[in-house]
Amino acid sequence: MTSSEPRGAMPAYGLFIDNAFTPAASGRTFEVENPATAATIATAAHGDAEDVARAVAAAERSVWGRMPGAERARILTRAADILAERMDDFVAAEVAQTGRPIREMKAQLARTPEWYAYFGALARTHEGRVHPFGGSYLNYSHRRPLGVVGALTPWNHPLLILTKKVAPALAAGNTMVVKPSEIAPLTPLMLGEVLAEAGLPAGAYNVVTGFGPDAGAAVVNHPSIAKIDLTGGTPTGRKVAAIAGERLIPMSAELGGKASVVVFADMVEAGTAGALFASFVAAGQTCVQGARLLVERSVYDEVVETLGRRARAIRVGDPTDPATEMGPLVSARQRETAERYVAIGREEGGRVVAGGARPGGEAFARGYYYTPTVLADVASGARVAQEEIFGPVVCCLPFEDEADAIRLANDTPFGLAASVWSREVSRAHRVAHAIDAGIVWVNDHHRIDPSSPWGGFAASGLGKENGIACYESYTKVQSVVVNLSPEPFDWFEGEAEGKRYS
């Protein structure tokens, strides 16, 4: 069970190690908060380096990596089915720990079983290669698991982002030690029960809850960790990358973003609706948030006015209410960040078209609510248009022509995502190709699939999630060269002429 408390008491979650819940070695715990009410909803074990060492040892003992791909596929497919059956419990936990509206969580989490089914299929079907080595030789290569993967996951999409790491890593035969965000650790722990019930051997999936300076640092620095997979902020990514580089182990990192939504004059209605979704889904707390709205000047005023009107109409409220369209921010700190940047935006000359304040009324007194905010006439070089806010704030900028749109879209240090809205197919493709981002949507935003590569350029990170490339990134390639010749070979016997040296 996840808790040793009597029925009706607040859930008390232990660490998940060796397919069982266990207290932290120190006995310490921390509280998990509901951002809609600021109330404590659970406690979780406060793990540290000693607990990480236990988890890594369990991962190293696990038989998972020695099981055939077909058996791994069977277990992951079963996990997909169990996860789907328990989806209501996961949705409720995600709403409670993140404040995301139930309408969002139902839609997002309903897709997570697809990752386990997709990567399970890859575990069964992925093939080695035979290479044209030449001469009387057979050269084939095959992929082997890396070993123990350390995953550091964030609070904004606790189950989905974790799943994007767990499904391919396990499919490839690796074992895992996960350090989830201390803000939203519940569903990563609940996933352990699903995987264990599906037949995942003990030690293959371990979760150490805690904080970055102790549990997170211990995962990154443990000598038996064979790969680090991080989703987080760019400053953290740089520090972790330096450690991975020193240890010469691979690292994947999905980091910050400042995505542009580029709306041309021939697609005003759909582009404005798309910008509204890109800006305010998840209360803007997503790395692919449409934080920069670039609009062709001839329709700029129309789009900004419509966006502001529609932003003011978004129903902010109780995330458990199906009618709510935007819930609170995840923490007091996150709301303070949004408020600080809106103040900076005003100082830099931005015009507040909508929002820019906390909502009034008793219903919002205890949670971390903030209104959807539209800042118009922002300069591209302004801090509010350059730095990641991670909140419900969008900056609007006009552009003159296609070349200017591309220039503005590329005028940030980030390169994770962007979207282009135009009915002119050739232009849409030209602009998409010219934007220096790892993901570009055309006439859409924030769409994802387990088969579709996901990851950014520049300050937005390293490597890819999803797809075959991701699966292969959790493996190491071994090349086997076989001499098929019946003739004996002795380099030091006789003349070297005619002998193959390499």
Q: How many CB atoms lie within 10 A of CB 197?
A: 14
Taking the C-alpha atoms of residue 323 and residue 319, their distance in angstroms, rounded to an integer, is 9
Structure tokens at 229: 């997979």
Give me the DSSP letters along 17-63. Answer: ETTEEE--TT--EEEEEETTTTEEEEEEE-B-HHHHHHHHHHHHH-S
Q: Look-up: residue for tokens 């399970």?
A: 120
Catalytic center residues: 165, 254, 287, 465
Burial class (CB in 10 A: 0-12, 13-18, 19+), 153: buried
How many whole angstroms separate alpha carbon 220 and alpha carbon 249?
Answer: 10
Q: Where are the beta strands (DSSP E) in 297-388?
A: 351-354, 373-376
CA-based max dimension of the chain? 95
Residue 242 to residue 239: CA distance in whole angstroms: 5
CB atoms under 10 Å from CB of 323, counted, come to: 10
Q: Token pair 């991670």 is at which residue?
A: 390
SS3 category, 293: strand
Amino acid at 135: G
